[in-house]
Amino acid sequence: MTTTLFTNARLIDPAEGTDASGWLLIENGVIRDMGYDAAPPNADAVRDCAGKCLAPGIVDIGVKVCEPGERHKESYRSAGLAAAAGGVTTIVTRPDTDPPIDSPEVLEFVARRASEAAPVNVLPMATLTKARAGQEMTEIGFLMDAGAVAFTDCDHVVTDTRVLSRALGYARSLGALVITHPQEPGLSKGATATSGKFASLRGLPSVSAMAERMGLDRDIALLEMTGARMHLDQITTARALPALERAKRNGLDITAGTSIHHLTLNELDVADYRTFFKVKPPLRAEDDRKAVVEAVASGLIDIISSMHTPQDEESKRLPYEEAASGAVALQTLLPAALRLYHSGDLSLPQLFRAMSLNPARRLGLPAGRLEAGAPADLVLFNADAPFILDRFTLQSKSRNTPFDGQRMQGKVLASYVNGTRIFGDL
């Protein structure tokens, strides 16, 4: 048996909410012990962390890898390398590929590709309806047997409430997790900005923040009717938060996420039609951004994700209305999240509760925590190291990041999956 001891580490424990200096011992790919005041045990290998932060690896729900169909935008190899460089040790992939992941055969193909090419853990999701068309639900039971961890049509909102209610009822009978995109599709169709002064001055087609609230109200009503398990992929407006709070208070099995871009950017960042800032839903007002940050701090919003969406240069170098939505974020998720730490909005345990512990809990994974018996999926990082981001240094095949050229603070030094170093030198 091989043991490795991390000493002089700043241990970030999201389950206990602690941030303190200590040591951590791993053995055969799992955490065996940790401590703060007691003398560390002997080990086969010792790694001095020099006071840097050691935390559970990030579990990122909602990553798009473009296999099959658009491998030139992102492959499992490139996505895995980007994740490792960003401290993400588990990626939960979206099924909005070409073709969509809506059958056990396609799911088994992507699972095989991921196991062959990616250095991180990869957990695939499958579509809720066939071809994401919202007309006929997929074979949820067979897809679960093939390895699907959740079901979602991503940003294709199921408009037929009867189809969605039947899918939720069937998912409930199997204990499956359904992920919805809270948005009223009629109002949001074709929108590229959030309604307000900025959108009017730029002449951009816009959508009211109420579209998110209306979509959320419908999903909550169907959840109450069916008793299923539901996760909301992105809550981005202040108007949606009271409805979410009531749903949780009423005991519904519901969790909510938000994206790192909606936590750290606002509509003004679009400036003069900068398409790398075009995401879905569109960036919101600063008041909405602050409200969502406060919701993460209080625990009302459970999960922070990258919503990693690769787009090639040809898709982005277009007039703003015609450009594709989405941004890559696997490698920038942690340094962008650390903006909220340095601004005093969130502590490191709060950040890793939302990026590691809560997503792992929602998916029933043993990861996302620093405790004996948990897998040694870890990230070692310097929370204070400054740098200027150059998008051409990213590991992703596509480099459509809104943070290009921006001053960032926080560098990943090493990443580990099951105790094996997959990035860095330590």
Q: What single-letter amino acid sits at 94?
A: R
> What value does the mean pLDDT of the chain take?
96
Query: Is 80 exceeded by the pLDDT of residue 201?
Result: yes
With cut-offs at 50, 70 and 90, classify the pLDDT of residue 398: very high
With cut-offs at 50, 70 and 90, classify the pLDDT of residue 401: very high
Across 32-42, average pLDDT? 92
Query: Is 90 exceeded by the pLDDT of residue 425?
Result: no
CATH of 57-362, one of 3.20.20.140, 3.30.460.80, 3.40.50.720, 2.30.30.280: 3.20.20.140
For 265-284, how does the pLDDT look when each residue is reduced to its tens digit (9 = 90+)?
999 999 999 999 999 999 99
For 239-267, how does the pLDDT look when each residue is reduced to its tens digit (9 = 90+)?
999 999 999 999 999 999 999 999 999 99
Closest Cα partner for 240 from 193, 200, 183, 290? 183
- What Cα–Cα distance (Å) separates residue 363 from each residue in 235, 356, 408? 19, 11, 31
For 151-161, how does the pLDDT look when each residue is reduced to its tens digit (9 = 90+)?
999 999 999 99
pLDDT of res. 38: 84
Across 119-141, average pLDDT? 97
* Percent with pLDDT over 90 in the chain: 98
For residue 240, give the DSSP letter.
Answer: G
Query: Is 70 exceeded by the pLDDT of residue 317?
Result: yes
Specify burial of residue 388 (Cβ count, 10 A radius: 0-12, 13-18, 19+): exposed
Burial 227-264 (b: 16+ CB within 10 A, else e): ebbbbbbbbbbbbbbebbeebbeeebebbbbbbbbbbb
**What is the number of other CB atoms lying within 10 angstroms of the CB of residue 399?**
21
Query: Is 80 exceeded by the pLDDT of residue 90?
Result: yes
As a three-state string, the secondary structure of 325-392 is CCECCCCCHHHHHHHHHHCCCCCHHHHHHHHHHHHHHHCCCCCCCCCCCCECCEEEEEEEEEEECCHH
pLDDT of res. 1: 64
